[in-house]
Amino acid sequence: MKKLQKTSTDIIPTGYLWGGLVLLLLFSVLPFLYLISTSFSNQVEINAGHLIPHHPTLFNYRQLFSGNGPYVAHLVSAMRNSLEVSILTTILALVFGSLAAYAFARIRFPFRMSGLFAILSMQVLPSVSIVVPLYILFRNGLSIPIPFTHLAFQLTGPLLNTPWALIIAYASGTIPYVVWMVTGYFSTVPKELEESAYIDGCGMWGAMLRIIVPLSIPGLAATFIFSVLNNFDEFMFANAFTSTYRSQTIPIFISQLVGKHSLPWGLMCAAGVVATIPFVILSMVFYRWIVTGVTAGAVKG
Amino acid sequence: MKRQVFVALSATGLAVTLAGCGITSNVSGNAASNSSGPATNSNSTLTWNNFPYTDPKLKGQTITILWTDATPTQEKLTKQLEAEFTKQTGIKVTNIGVDYNSVYNKVMTEVMSNSHSIDLAEMDTIWAGQYYAGNVAVDLTNIIPKSVQKTFTPSSLTSVTYNGHIMGVPWFSSTKHFYWNKKMFTEAGLNPNHPPATYDQFLKDSKIIQAKLGSKGVYASGWSWMQAESLTCDYVGFLGAYGGTFFSPSGQPEFNSSGGVKALQMMQTLYQSGTVDPASMQWNETQVQNAFAAGKIAMMSNWEGMYPMLNDPTQSQVVGQTAVGLLPGEGNVKSSTVTGSEGVALLKSSQHKQAALEFLEFIASNGYQLPEFQYNGQYPTLQAAYTNPKYKAADTTNTMGAIEQQFNYAFNRPNAPGYVSWSDILSGDLHKAIMGQMTPQAALNDANTQINQAIKQAE
Amino acid sequence: MDRELSEGLSQEIAFSAKGTGLSGRAVKHERKRWAFAYLLLIPTVIYLLAIFIYPIVQSLVWSFMHYDLLDGSPVRFDGIQNYIQILTDGQFWYSLWNAIWFTLFTCTVETVLGFFCALLLNQTFRGRTFFRASIIIPWAILTMVNGLLWDTMLQPGTNGGAIQIVLHALHILPSSSNPVWLATVTGTVFWAGIADIWKMTPFMTLLMLAGLQSLSGDLYEAAMLDGAGFWKKIWYVTLPQLTPTIIIAVVLRVMGAFRVYDILTEFTGNDTTSVTYLTFDNAFRYFYLGKASAMAWVSTLFIIALIVYYIRALKRNMEYA
């Protein structure tokens, strides 16, 4: 076994270190384990104060997934909507944002810095400041006003209760994020590689698509995962823009279960486990990328 | 870092200012054109056919209903009834069941949304004014034939009417009732057949029960006093008992008069006496029901529909131990409760109005009302049901008489447009007063001022 | 990001300085590249103008209008009526105060906890990867599921609330006491804060861990030679070097925490628990769109002012130090 090399950055004494680590582990994991354990408890045991069920039961999961029960169809459609919305949003934002990021990272042009800052600073504004106008926008459908008249060219029908309302709204927050992240990744590609592409006869599109983008794939992937997770979690826009089962997302599904306040806690926890386990597993598997996604934008250098 | 953020902020500022110049007038023009609200469709083509007759042309249409769907039992029955309707008419039904406290928001966002995805929606009695004034629902006054209107009980029809406009089809009749656990009464040494008739007596009995059974983790009573409509409901019941009124005849709130203060004082005293399950402050009615069914509280005030659940051994631990009767009164008032009857409204934005109307006819028929009564304990809106032997036979717990008697002592909440925001204000202050964060008088004065302000602003 | 942007800035200055010396052909080439850059920017710029800037301006305009959707009254210019209404309304200030309190509480605790967690995980020890990966579990849980989980655990002990059961067992809370923590506004905001701390501390930890990893060991060695103990090392070596990371992390969290809404809807129906909640209800429960727009603007300006103030204060502190 390889001996662990102590370094000068190890400033915590070993005893405190392990004490702290155990506390940290309990803090992070215990509530989550309780969620799982409750999902296997029936209401009688919860009322009796058993933190771990004495007789674990699959009853909650059976009720959740029972074919003619009221939940399974809603759960499945909510899951599909959530995936559809968060993935399409991310793709849209990645395409738009990467193009802009390429310009910011690889080309020096007037107003470059101001432009970049303007886009970044949009992240400061809370989403509640645009929720009302967006609601009215989606209610009427997208249109392009024709200048100097009261006429408008109608692009779409009303978008509320469709995934498009959410995709369009989410992208407005995701694009600045993508620009921020991807500009960072693109600018790490050495200039020599790009120049050799020009010498090989590539145009600007060619250099971008053949050199810069492929070399930034890990960064793009981190951005992709992080943005999907973020959009999957969004609640306020979804609450304002959807009212039908067909258009609702997972956070709304969970919120409605909780809102009833009358369903067994076990059932709600089972739904919570189903909604959340994929992400916990994904986050562990893609731990490295997630960390890059969290940190790259914020603390590079 | 620091300087850069400044640059960033000022850059946005600039962009905002620039963008502001060109489009302002356009924005207001756009806004004005939206203000007309949902399109007003002509209703003249709608005809009320008595169920199950249905225009065959409607076959294959799908209608969507938004209403409360609180418990798994309820959800199951709703599904069965909708399937029955589809079988008879060929009209498909999609059901959106949300919690009660979300229904109003969902209906309003839907109606405002231009998306036409919901056809029928629950209408609690208190929303009738809003549904009328806000152009939410179709006025059914001239669509439901007079002869059909007469088949409903007068109170259920009143509950869906605002200023003479019938805004929905009566769905169920409802008030709150007094439920008590006879076995616990006996154990505490009280007469199980003499529930308290006044709130003073209620408090005394509560203390006795608490002293005897408190060690077993039982509380004398539990209430639906989460900060929501359910708290306002209970307050209106107490208000009636102490001779107070919500609004003066001229439409001014006057619940901060002496009756209103006494009523709230009693609620506060009960809570502070330690006989009320403290969780009451975050419970809705279903949670109170669950606590009662689990044998954790001895008395509760709740709607109909507790039976048959309370006597179902798979859901209840108090099978055969409970009874229902009149809620207490005080002084000259024999009993007092709040009306909670509801209707189902046909939304103006619906694109399947005739098919949706067929479902409303179904709701107004025995085919719907009887099973809802039998399996859900939901009381019928049809006058004839109360003498119909089929309903009597379905009343396995023999509680119909007791329930019907309470209907005579019911007080209505206001149903004018704006009620929802008033009730939000009131329930917040009630909650604070019961928790002891404000005196009852101060809480009610505050609510009174705020509601007056809201009325003024709306004008 | 930080360094890279400042590099970019200096490059840009250098570039424009030598711009005059370019030959005709080079200028033409540069112009072509500029055009290409603007072409690439078009989709993003149009998109953000249409779906971000335009709506924000729209809501500014509406904040000066009487715009009630429900009563169908005509939209009309109303001056600063909406602003007067909300600023004289105790509810608005109360909800703003709750949001500020929530932000201060969660951000402070998350920063401190996150800092120490990052210190722990920056040590060399066996199983480090396991510990690092397991701490992101809370962060990976959906916000609404997090709310559901804490709602369950915060129930009174008589209703099976896990936290009170544990406190009873440890005799921290007498077994006769079963408080209803989510019944008051103060309680709700506090516990929503605890739930947020549980979920977001890993985020802080990851950020600070990345910052710590980029610190060199030399300074610690120098500090060790001077005989500095644990706290001295933290105070004189770690914190000064980590400050840029902490600033960014705190700004990110302040932005996130101030808009708290989702978890509160699960805990309570009382919308004065946060300014976002109140704004949302005014918009989508009562449909006072004008008033809601004004609220959104006031709280937006407030958060911008808060962040600007925070950064200025830090800058001043660092200049004195």
Q: What is the 3-state secondary structure (H, E, C) of A144-202?
A: EECCCCCCEEECCCCCCCCHHHHHHHHHHHHHHHHHHHHHHHHHCCCHHHHHHHHHCCC
Q: Which residue has the higher pLDDT, A264 or B63?
A: B63
Lowest-confidence pick of A42-51, B25-34, B139-148, B312-321: B25-34
pLDDT tops 70 at residue C11: no
The whole-number average pLDDT for the span C158-165 is 86
C 73-112 residues with CB < 8 A to A = none
Domain count, chain B: 2
Contact (Cβ atoms closer than 8 angstroms) between residue B134 and residue B37:
yes
pLDDT tops 50 at residue B18: no
Residue C65 pairs with which residues in a beta bridge?
A: C77
C-beta atoms of A129 and C300 within 8 A: yes
For C203-259, write each residue's pLDDT tens digit.
999 989 988 888 877 878 888 778 778 888 888 888 888 888 888 889 889 988 999
Geometric angle at alpha carbon B115, from B112 and B118, rounded to 5°: 90
Lowest-confidence pick of A120-134, B32-46, B123-137: B32-46
Highest mean pLDDT among B50-54, B90-94, B266-270, B418-422: B266-270
* pLDDT score recorded for residue B33: 35
What is the token pair recorded at B425?
């204000």
Nearest Cα of chain B lies from the Cα of C231 at a distance, in angstroms, of 27
Any A CB within 8 A of C187 CB: no
- Whole-prediction pTM: 0.86
Gap between the Cα atoms of C96 and C272, Å rounded: 8
**Confidence grade of residue A296 (pLDDT, cut at 50, 70, 90):** low
| Same domain assignment for residues B108 and B201 | no
* Strand ranges, E, within B212-354: 219-222, 297-302, 322-325, 337-338, 342-346
% of residues, chain B, pLDDT over 70: 89
For chain C, the residue count is 321
| Same domain assignment for residues B193 and B319 | yes
Collect all residues of chain A within an 8 Å Cβ-Cβ radius of residue C58. 133, 136
Gap between the Cα atoms of A97 and A91, Å rounded: 10
Any B CB within 8 A of A66 CB: no
CATH of the structural domain A89-249+279-298, one choice from 3.20.20.140, 3.30.565.10, 1.20.210.10, 1.10.3720.10: 1.10.3720.10
Q: Which residue has the higher pLDDT, A96 or C286?
A: A96
* pLDDT score recorded for residue C19: 44
Q: Which domain holds residue B217?
A: 177-338+418-458
Lowest-confidence pick of A148-162, A174-188, B10-24, B294-308: B10-24
The whole-number average pLDDT for the span B200-210 is 96
Lowest-confidence pick of A282-296, B306-320, B412-426: A282-296
pLDDT tops 70 at residue B375: yes
For B326-370, write each residue's pLDDT tens digit.
999 998 899 999 999 999 999 998 999 999 999 999 999 999 999
Collect all residues of chain C within an 8 Å Cβ-Cβ radius of residue A282. 140
Any C CB within 8 A of A52 CB: no
Q: What is the 3-state secondary structure (H, E, C) of B124-177?
A: EHHHHHHHHHCCCECCCCCCCCHHHHCCECHHHHHHCEECCEECCEEEEECECE
Any A CB within 8 A of B43 CB: no
Q: Which residue has the higher pLDDT, B15 or B424?
A: B424
pLDDT tops 80 at residue C307: yes
Of B404, B426, B446, the one marking the end of a domain is: B404
pLDDT tops 80 at residue B90: yes
Contact (Cβ atoms closer than 8 angstroms) between residue C40 and residue A100:
yes
Is the peptide bond between A110 and the residue preceding it cis, with omega within 30 degrees of 0? no
CB–CB contacts below 8 A, A to C: 328
Gap between the Cα atoms of B129 and B115, Å rounded: 23
User: Hey, where are the domains in chain A?
Assistant: 89-249+279-298
Gap between the Cα atoms of B93 and B65, Å rounded: 7
Look at residue B278 and tell me if it is in a domain: yes
For an interface test with C, the pick among B21, B27, B296 (most C C-beta atoms closer than 10 Å) comes out as B27
CB atoms within 10 A of CB C234: 18
**Confidence grade of residue A45 (pLDDT, cut at 50, 70, 90):** confident
Any B CB within 8 A of A231 CB: no
Residue C86 pairs with which residues in a beta bridge?
A: none
Average pLDDT, chain C: 85
Q: Scanning every residue of chain A, which has its alpha carbon at the shortest distance from the alpha carbon of B74? A: A70
**Class of C87-320 in CATH:** mainly alpha
Average pLDDT, chain B: 86
Collect all residues of chain A within an 8 Å Cβ-Cβ radius of residue C138. 28, 31-32
pLDDT tops 90 at residue C27: no
* Strand ranges, E, within B342-423: 342-346, 410-411
The whole-number average pLDDT for the span C18-46 is 79
% of residues, chain C, pLDDT over 90: 46
Is the peptide bond between A218 and the residue preceding it cis, with omega within 30 degrees of 0? no
Look at residue B349 and tell me if it is in a domain: yes
Question: Which residues, 6+ apart, have CB-to-CB distance to B331 below 8 Å?
Answer: B198, B242, B243
Of B404, B430, B446, the one marking the end of a domain is: B404
| Buried residues in C41-79 as b, exposed as e (16+ CB within 10 A) | bebbbebbeebbbbbbbbbbbbbbbbbbbbbeeebeebe
Contacting chains of B (3 CB pairs or more, <8 Å) are A, C
* pLDDT score recorded for residue A246: 84
Any C CB within 8 A of B24 CB: yes
DSSP letter at B413?
P
| Same domain assignment for residues B257 and B330 | yes
* pLDDT score recorded for residue A261: 67
* pLDDT score recorded for residue A285: 84
C-beta atoms of A112 and C8 within 8 A: yes
Phi, psi values for residue A155, rounded to 5°:
-90, -40
Collect all residues of chain A within an 8 Å Cβ-Cβ radius of residue B24. none
User: Hey, where are the domains in chain C?
Assistant: 87-320
Place of tokens 């809705």: B284
For C172-214, write each residue's pLDDT tens digit.
988 878 888 988 899 999 999 999 999 999 999 998 998 888 8
What is the token pair recorded at A19?
């004490």
For residue B327, give Cα distances in angstroms to B87, B195, B238, B334, B395: 42, 9, 10, 9, 21
Task: Tell me the residue type at C303.
Answer: I
Smallest Cα–Cα separation from B261: which of B248, B243, B281?
B243
Nearest Cα of chain C lies from the Cα of A45 at a distance, in angstroms, of 8
B 328-387 residues with CB < 8 A to C = none
pLDDT tops 60 at residue A26: yes
DSSP letter at A52?
S
* pLDDT score recorded for residue B25: 31
Contact (Cβ atoms closer than 8 angstroms) between residue C216 and residue C172:
no
Angle, helices A265-285/A287-298, rounded to nearest 10 degrees:
80
* pLDDT score recorded for residue B320: 92
Ramachandran category for residue A10: left, alpha or beta (phi over 0 → left; psi -120 to 50 → alpha): beta
Nearest Cα of chain A lies from the Cα of C320 at a distance, in angstroms, of 24
Question: Which residues, 6+ apart, have CB-to-CB distance to B336 below 8 Å?
Answer: B237, B238, B239, B240, B241, B327, B328, B329, B330, B409, B411
Place of tokens 């010396």: C21
Question: Which residues, 6+ apart, have CB-to-CB distance to B188 below 8 Å?
Answer: B205, B208, B209, B211, B212, B213, B298
What is the token pair recorded at C158?
């008589």
Of B359, B377, B404, the one marking the end of a domain is: B404
Look at residue B297 and tell me if it is in a domain: yes
**CATH number where B372 lies:** 3.40.190.10
For residue C277, give Cα distances in angstroms to A239, C161, C274, C283, C296: 12, 26, 5, 10, 11
Contacting chains of C (3 CB pairs or more, <8 Å) are A, B
* pLDDT score recorded for residue C20: 46
Q: Which residue has the higher pLDDT, C260 or A148?
A: C260
| Same domain assignment for residues B310 and B352 | no
Smallest Cα–Cα separation from B200: which of B117, B273, B120, B127?
B273
* pLDDT score recorded for residue C26: 73
DSSP three-state, residue B372 = helix
Question: Which residues, 6+ apart, have CB-to-CB distance to B77 below 8 Å?
Answer: B371, B372, B375, B376
* pLDDT score recorded for residue B194: 93
| Same domain assignment for residues B322 and B352 | no
| Same domain assignment for residues B112 and B168 | yes
B161-162/B322-325 β-pairing: unpaired
pLDDT tops 50 at residue B314: yes
CB atoms within 10 A of CB A67: 6
Any C CB within 8 A of B37 CB: yes
Any C CB within 8 A of B131 CB: no
Q: Scanning every residue of chain B, which has its alpha carbon at the shortest distance from the alpha carbon of A143? A: B30
Nearest Cα of chain B lies from the Cα of C176 at a distance, in angstroms, of 9
Lowest-confidence pick of B18-27, B145-154, B164-173: B18-27
Contact (Cβ atoms closer than 8 angstroms) between residue B222 and residue B291:
yes
- Residue A217, exposed/middle/buried by CB under 10 A (0-12, 13-18, 19+)? exposed
Query: Alpha-carbon dihedral of residues B374, B379, B380, B385, nearest 10 degrees?
Result: 70
Helical spans, DSSP H, in B189-331: 199-213, 229-241, 258-272, 285-293
Contact (Cβ atoms closer than 8 angstroms) between residue A82 and residue A250:
yes
For B215-266, write each residue's pLDDT tens digit.
888 999 999 999 889 999 999 999 999 999 998 888 889 999 889 999 999 9
Look at residue B295 and tell me if it is in a domain: yes
Highest mean pLDDT among A74-88, B25-39, B277-291: A74-88
A 160-189 residues with CB < 8 A to C = 168-169, 171-172, 175-176, 179-180, 184, 187
